[in-house]
Amino acid sequence: MDLTLSLRVLSVAGIICQATLAFVLLWKKVWKSFPLFSWYFGTGSLATIMMYAFQHSRAAYFYLYWTVEALGIGLGFAVVYEIFSNLFGNHNALHRLASVIFRCVLGLLLCIGIVVLIRHSPFGFRAVTSAVVIVEESARIIEIGMLMCLFLLSSAFGLHWRQQVFGIALGLGIFVAVELIRVTIWGQAGKEAHDALNVIRILSFDTSLLIWIGYLAAPERAAKEVELPQRSQLEQWNQAVMELINQ
């Protein structure tokens, strides 16, 4: 299929998905429990409309595009914070340790981001474009690193993700990971590869939209569906824990 046609088809699909997600956010009142994610999505949708309106004005489109990118990254960090709060908010014992680990990882990622920023060789574009792409790459490294840290911490602590939080994290994670690959290759590739990379970007965003719609629209598993362990197994566990305590 022609790349331009693919871009158009995916863009239309994206607009339909965004409209569906907006409906789900309002229908399920997700904006009440996830205000930062709602802002992230709302701003992104508004940006899509504005960019569509300014697509024929090259200069306006350029500045609008990078402003939206910066805003998207900033709000992306806010969404990561919201996921962290939702995941650990009910676990005071784990929250303190998780916060310390999370801050350490953030510090480390900031260092890595700065190293990438300084050591990266300049691209063959305008100085402003090069700088913006490298800054975006560094920011995406930090964002994906924080999301990975969240998934690893929840696994280490044996936390149960609520469906909506998991969906938001997964959708954001996939989009940011693909976006990181795209930005990294974008700087190295020639201008002819940029259309293909744009198709990949829109495809990944549409995938994330579908994930968000799926996880936010589906009902949360009810308490009665939880499988209780067998009594004999729990008795064994009880005794095993007492052994560990009394040693």
Partner 1 sequence: MITLIVIALALAAIGLFYMAVRSRRQRPHQVVRPVDLKAFRTLVDREDELFLKQRLPRASFARLKRQRVTVTMRYVGRIANNASLVMGFGESARLSSDPEIAQTASQIVEVASQLRLQCLVALGKLSLEFALPSLQLTPAVLAPEYQQLRENVVRLGKLQPQTAAPLPVAI
CB–CB of 113/141 below 8 Å?
Answer: yes
Residue 118 engages partner 1 in binding (rule: CB under 8 A): no
Residue 137 engages partner 1 in binding (rule: CB under 8 A): yes
What DSSP state is assigned to residue 132?
H
Angstrom distance (rounded) from CA 119 to CA 188: 15
Residue 229 C-beta: closest distance to partner 1, Å: 4
Residue 193 C-beta: closest distance to partner 1, Å: 14
Residue 111 engages partner 1 in binding (rule: CB under 8 A): no
- Residue in the block written with tokens 């350029």: 62
What DSSP state is assigned to residue 125?
S
- Residue in the block written with tokens 């090259």: 58
Member of 97, 110, 196, 197 binding partner 1 (CB under 8 A): 97
Residue 89 engages partner 1 in binding (rule: CB under 8 A): no
Residue 2 engages partner 1 in binding (rule: CB under 8 A): no
Please enumerate in sequence order all residues whose Cβ is within 8 A of that of 238, keeping only pairs 6 or more positions apart, or say none: none
Angstrom distance (rounded) from CA 33 to CA 35: 6
CB–CB of 215/171 below 8 Å?
Answer: yes
Name the one range near partner 1 by CB under 8 A: 20-28, 35-43, 68-76, 234-242.
Answer: 234-242
Residue 90 engages partner 1 in binding (rule: CB under 8 A): yes
Q: Please give the angle made by the CA atoms of 224, 230 and 236, to the nearest 5 degrees.
A: 135
Q: Please give the angle made by the CA atoms of 239, 156 and 171, to the nearest 5 degrees.
A: 135
Residue type at position 203: L
Residues 210-229 that bind partner 1 (CB under 8 A): 220-229
Angstrom distance (rounded) from CA 80 to CA 142: 11
Quick one: 67 or 99, whose CB is closer to partner 1? 99
Using a 10 angstrom Cβ sphere, with 0-12 exposed, 13-18 middle and 19 or more buried, the burial of residue 232 is exposed
Quick one: 38 or 184, whose CB is closer to partner 1? 184
Residue window 140-179: x/- pattern of binding to partner 1, with contact defined by CB under 8 A: -x--xx-xx--xx--xxxxxxxx---x---x--xx-xxx-
Name the one range near partner 1 by CB under 8 A: 13-21, 53-61, 85-93, 99-107.
Answer: 85-93
Residue 160 C-beta: closest distance to partner 1, Å: 4
Residue 5 engages partner 1 in binding (rule: CB under 8 A): no
The closest of 167, 182, 177 to 216, measured between CA atoms, is 167
Residue 121 C-beta: closest distance to partner 1, Å: 9
Contact set with partner 1 (CB under 8 A): 90-94, 97, 116, 119-120, 137, 141, 144-145, 147-148, 151-152, 155-162, 166, 170, 173-174, 176-178, 180-181, 184-185, 188, 220-245, 247
